Amino acid sequence: MRSVPALSFVLLALVLASCGGDDGGGDSASGNVQFLVFGDPEELKAYREVIAAFKSEEPDVRVQLVEASDRDDLLARLATSIAGGRPPDLFLLNYRFYGQFAEKGQLEPIEERVAESDAFEEQDFYPQALDAFRFDGKLSCLPQNISSLVVYYNKALFRKAGLPLPRGDWTWKEFVDTAVKLTDRKREQYGLGVEPSLIRIAPFVWSNGGELVREDLSGFALDGPTAQEPLRQFMLLHTAYRAIPSEEEVEAEDDESRFMNGRLGMILSSRRSTPAFRTITDFDWEVAPLPRFKEQAGILHSDAYCLTNCSGTRTPPGGSWSSRSARRVSGSLRAPDVPSRRSARSRSRTPSSTRV
């Protein structure tokens, strides 16, 4: 569970400073807010509950929750609505995709609004989450969460194969040996599921001393030996060891479903998979850190709430919104990721070996 001052802050700040909102300097706000999100059923239910709680405190504000089916649908709706001149006021965006909107000036910077808030400061948030949403040095969005990439594993399959559970400092070789021993193709059971993308391979490149991008930003640096070795090792998992499902098999049954059905020993994923995996009743599962090549490394993911820029027609920051921003709504939001605000997860610690 996590508290929702960040969400209530954005909603109220938006209402009092949006294109259609009204901040007459009084103690109440009015207007219409369109809020575009996507998420698992548990997340969407939580958003509805938060909006209902917000409405009880601000009855003159109408918040319309627009639920996209997935991230691709959200991005498509966002791009289309911006091009058509009718974008949502507020939307949830992953750090991997926000740059294209920030570069075109389509996001409303919020740094001044955060600076004038008496509810929290930038220092209250994990710096990695904030830095992921800075453009030209200015904070563009308010991070909702921060999540690391981990190894989820099926404890029952480990026991059945007679394998020790992963230790905190396991090596790539141990990881590969484990994936091979967990594979039983007669049962259509595989040792590992991993999305074939750069963000999944990145921490292993860093672990081996490599970099993704050249220092002068002129292009990728994946042609060097320190980057090539992890790439080659991932290919071997698929081609030589056959410990990863084929593309056709993943098309028929995605990795997350195969894991939940008990036929995948390990899967690389962020904490977004946790709500779905908590519904598993047939076996116990646990998480382990990523294996290392040379040094321990990781990668962080973050989503944030962003405001669309209304061509300079927004009311300048200030007024009474900041003093009420985090006090209007009390409640909690079930989130699949670690909250980006430190106080919402006082026991969390961001490892120094991770990057956004």
Q: What is the pLDDT of residue 114?
A: 79
Q: Please give the C-alpha separations between residue 113 and each of 12, 120, 160, 319, in angstroms, as whole numbers.
A: 11, 11, 55, 10
Residue 283's identity, in one-letter code, is F
Which CATH number applies to 2-144+302-351?
3.40.190.10
Task: Name 341's bridge partners.
Answer: 125
Cβ-based burial of 187 (10 A; exposed 0-12, middle 13-18, buried ≥19): exposed
Which CATH number applies to 148-300?
3.40.190.10
Helix (H, G, I), strand (E, B) or coil at 259: helix
0.95 surpassed by pTM? no
**Residue ranges of the chain with pLDDT lower than 70?**
1-30, 119, 310-356
Q: What is the pLDDT of residue 335?
A: 43
Q: What is the pLDDT of residue 300?
A: 83
Identical fold at 2-144+302-351 and 148-300? Answer: yes
Give the residue among 330, 307, 352, 332 at the shortest CA–CA distance from 113: 307
Q: What is the pLDDT of residue 127?
A: 87
Q: What is the pLDDT of residue 11?
A: 58
Kindly list the domain boundaries of the chain, sorted by start residue.
2-144+302-351, 148-300
Separation CA 288–CA 106 (nearest Å): 39
Q: What is the pLDDT of residue 299?
A: 87
Q: What is the pLDDT of residue 42?
A: 77
Give the residue among 262, 254, 285, 275 at the shortest CA–CA distance from 166: 285
Q: What is the pLDDT of residue 302?
A: 86
Q: What is the DSSP string of 93-159?
A: EEHHHHHHHHHTT-B---HHHHHH-SS--GGGB-HHHHHTTEETTEE-EEE-EEEE-EEEEEHHHHH
Q: What is the pLDDT of residue 16?
A: 53
Do the strands 145-148 and 150-154 form a parallel or antiparallel pair, or are they unpaired?
unpaired
Q: What is the pLDDT of residue 128?
A: 84
H helix count then E strand count, the chain: 14, 17
Do the strands 190-193 and 298-301 form a parallel or antiparallel pair, or are they unpaired?
unpaired
